[in-house]
Amino acid sequence: MLRRLTHRSGSGDAQPAAAAPLKDACEAATDCVFHESRKSTSSLDDVMAAVRKTYRDHEVGLGAKTWEGTRPFVVSGRVDEAPGVVSFYLEPKERQTLPLFHPGQFITVSVKKPGEAAPTMRSYSLSDSWSADRYRITVKSAGGVSTALHELFPQGAEVEVMAPNGKFFLNGESRRPVVLIGAGVGLTPVLAMAKTLASQGSLRPVHFFVSVKDGENFPFRAELEALTKEHPNLQLHVLFSRPSAADREGADYRWAGRLNALHIAEALPKTEAGNDYEFYMCGPDAMMQDVRKGLRQLTGVSDKDINFESFNGEEMVDPWDVPPPIPNAASGAVEIHFQGKSFIWNPGDEALLKTAEKNGVDLPYGCRVGLSGCCDQKLSDGSVVYPEGTLVNVSPQMARPCVAYPGEGSDIITLGTGRE
């Protein structure tokens, strides 16, 4: 199966690889001393300042503890990034220092909407580099929880937050050139990667491809332009899918239309080792499928060098891949019950969470790939199984619906406290 990540993180604890930023900064300083004239216009003073900052951040962040479950945070600020797109700055209510995280990871927030008995969990990518005292997430209002955040969580509001998690993140130990690709609000995780590399003084060449509708709907525009001015090794390539009359080709954007592999191949210079790039992309599945397929054909890039995340954290399905086998899955129809609602799962259907959604049953979820545990439910009737290679640590009395399938011999499965 197409490799979906550079590393994996089996829990919310991002600290085991926390030495990577420090290593990267130190290597950047070495590069600047010995190879400054070859690849960078940064001064040694600038790089050494970044090294000192990275040392300080490393010592502070590594000493901070992660947490289990949720923890109360306060909305300390809101910024309108584009029409319908808002950044939320979240500070821990108890003012504890926040642990390091891998750029590209997400946090899961618990939101209770009016009239609902239980809160709903949703995951949002961290859209900034690590800070000791706050997180930033950027949310597009698209109904449901995202709209509730926009409308019900002003500055000063409290929200419950789970620790950073996720398998999609930057390989901080690599020294290879980086290609970041973000479409729409899918900019958020790859922006965190770009800002982290910049804050570390990394000299890795970075090509950042941005695809948005037009100049008005361009979140982080000023932030990205400032970033490229301050860091010459970071190049920005902008595509507007539907530029407005006010947008200027060549000044505001480079291409018009839909982002594809031709644009990327055109902009990327050949490296000394050929097409030796690491790719990180986030956006709609269809766009990522097209880009990935095109890159393989045009540049010969290996699948192992393409890392990706879709908007909602779901796995991207590769039409050339065979789905992983699901040992001992039910061979017949199974009746699923959850909080007074029910639906039928049939052989060939997707995992319980997706099947429930297709049948109008709203189950809570977080990462949707089996890591966060937000969707765990008590299993009152029946049994569940998981695809080969799925790493879950769930007791037989519990089920993780985002990756669970009915087990053989189960005619009825009841999630939660029991049938009503």
| Residues 86 and 221 reside in one and the same domain | no
User: What is the pTM (predicted TM-score) of this model?
Assistant: 0.70
Tell whether 173 and 289 lie within a shared domain: yes
Examine the domain organization and report whether 278 and 190 are in the same domain. Answer: yes
* Mean local confidence (pLDDT), 157-167: 91
The number of domains in the chain is 3
- Asked, for residue 420, whether it belongs to a domain, the answer is no
The values of phi and psi at residue 192, to 5°, are -60, -35
Are the C-beta atoms of 67 and 132 separated by less than 8 Å? no
Query: Which residue in this structure is represented by tokens 């595509």?
Result: 239
My answer on whether 203 and 137 are in the same domain is no
Residues 153 and 175 in one domain: no
Residue 320 covered by a domain = no
Question: What is the rounded (10 degree) CA torsion for 406, 409, 413, 418?
Answer: -150
Q: What is the predicted pLDDT for the residue at 245?
A: 96
Helix-, strand-, coil-residue percentages of the chain, each rounded to 5: 25, 25, 45
- Place 373 in a pLDDT band, splitting at 50, 70 and 90: low
Residue 385: beta bridge partners? 405
The CATH number linked to 173 is 3.40.50.80
Q: CATH code at 85?
A: 2.40.30.10
Residue 327 resides in a domain: no
**Which pLDDT belongs to residue 43?**
55
Q: Are residues 81 and 134 in the same domain?
A: yes
User: Is residue 388 domain-shared with residue 411, that is, in the same domain?
Assistant: yes
Please tell me the predicted confidence (pLDDT) of residue 52. 58
Give CA–CA dist 184/202, Å, rounded.
26
Q: Judge whether 350 lies within some domain.
A: yes
Q: Are 42 and 33 in contact (CB under 8 A)?
A: no
Q: Indicate whether 92 pLDDT > 60.
A: yes
What is the pLDDT, as a whole number, of residue 159?
A: 95
359 located within any domain = yes
- 179 and 294 fall within a common domain: yes
Q: Does some domain include residue 319?
A: no
Strand pairing partners for 121?
110
Question: Residue 384 falls within a domain, yes or no?
Answer: yes
Same domain, 253 and 392: no
**Cβ–Cβ under 8 Å, residues 244 and 217:** no
Of the chain, the percentage scoring pLDDT greater than 70 comes to: 76
Q: What is the pLDDT of residues 287-328, one digit of tens each?
A: 888 898 898 888 888 888 999 876 543 333 333 334 567 889
Domain shared by 153 and 236, yes or no: no
Residue 322: inside a domain, yes or no? Answer: no
Boundary of a domain, candidates 137, 165, 193: 165
Residue with tokens 């900034």: 128
Q: Say if CB 105 and CB 190 are below 8 A apart.
A: no
List the beta strands (DSSP E) in 69-134: 70-82, 85-92, 106-111, 120-125
Enumerate the β-bridge partners of residue 70. Answer: 162
Report the CATH number that the domain containing residue 411 is assigned in CATH.
3.10.20.30
Close Cβ partners of 240 (under 8 Å, ≥ 6 residues apart): 212, 213, 214, 215, 247, 252, 253, 255, 256
CA 322 to the chain's CA centroid: 24
Q: Are residues 237 and 261 in the same domain?
A: yes
Residues 55 and 174 in one domain: yes
| Residue 139 domain boundaries | 70-99+107-165
> How much is the average pLDDT of 69-79?
94
